[in-house]
Amino acid sequence: MPIAAAGDRALLATYDDISPAMLRARAAAVRRDASVVACVIGHSSLLVVFRDTPDESVLSVDVEESIDPPRVHRIDVVFDGPDLAELLEHAKLTRDEFLARVNRLELIVRYLGFRAGFAYLDGWPSDFALPRRATSRTRVPRGSFAIAGEMAGFYPVDSPGGWNLLGRTDAELWNPEREPPNLFAPGDVIVIHANS
């Protein structure tokens, strides 16, 4: 896999077609090296931050997926978002047909970013994809379930946002006083339970 310098204290490793579970396991293995300060997960990449001079060999470590097994979360979602009507029209579905499709849908966390540990989720059906909204909303409520392109996500805190809002959850996605603060970690599986 290509390894690029990211400044003089870090390396970026980019992977072709890697599963979230394997990416998570690789990051856990790399973090064990004494020369590594941090290993942060991107969409298909790892940023390895070193105490001193970067050393590519830490990325050649043997990895077993069982090193840090992902968790499965059941998340109840009420699908009453302001952009749902647009999606139903675009996909030519009734609300009931949509709910039947998304109930028990499995999404996988690829990586975190944006704000307050926002988790970018894979697995949203491509026939339900909607592009990002042309204008962002200044305030998307905490717990909102949203999609953009073929990615999905839950807004963990109130924030601005440009994704399409389909529903919401009461699950405590983010708590800055909790250890760990994030409910979701890269590689975790989220099973949607659609409440009408």
CB 55, min distance to another protein, A: 16
Instruction: Kindly state the smallest distance separating residue 168's Cβ from another protein, in Å.
Output: 20
Which C-beta is closer to another protein: that of 8 or that of 62? Answer: 8
- 178, burial (CB in 10 Å: exposed 0-12, middle 13-18, buried 19+): exposed
DSSP letter assigned to residue 43:
S
**What does the alpha-carbon distance between residue 36 and residue 9 come to, in Å, rounded to a whole number?**
10
All residues at 6 or more sequence positions from 19 whose CB lies less than 8 Å from its CB, including other chains:
none
**Is residue 73 a contact partner of residue 189, using CB atoms and an 8 Å limit?**
yes
Of 159 and 169, nearer to another protein (C-beta) is: 159
Query: How many angstroms separate the CA atoms of 112 and 119, rounded?
Result: 5
Cβ at position 77, least distance to another protein in Å: 20
Q: How far is the CB of 66 from another protein (least distance, A)?
A: 20
Binding site for another protein (CB under 8 A): 4-10, 12, 14, 27, 37-47, 49, 111-120, 157, 176-178, 180-182, 185
Dihedrals phi, psi of 149, to nearest 5 degrees: 65, -130
Least Cβ distance, residue 181 to another protein (angstroms)? 4
Distance CA(182)–CA(117), nearest Å, equals: 6
Q: Strands of 18-132 (E only): list them.
A: 36-41, 45-50, 72-78, 106-113, 118-122
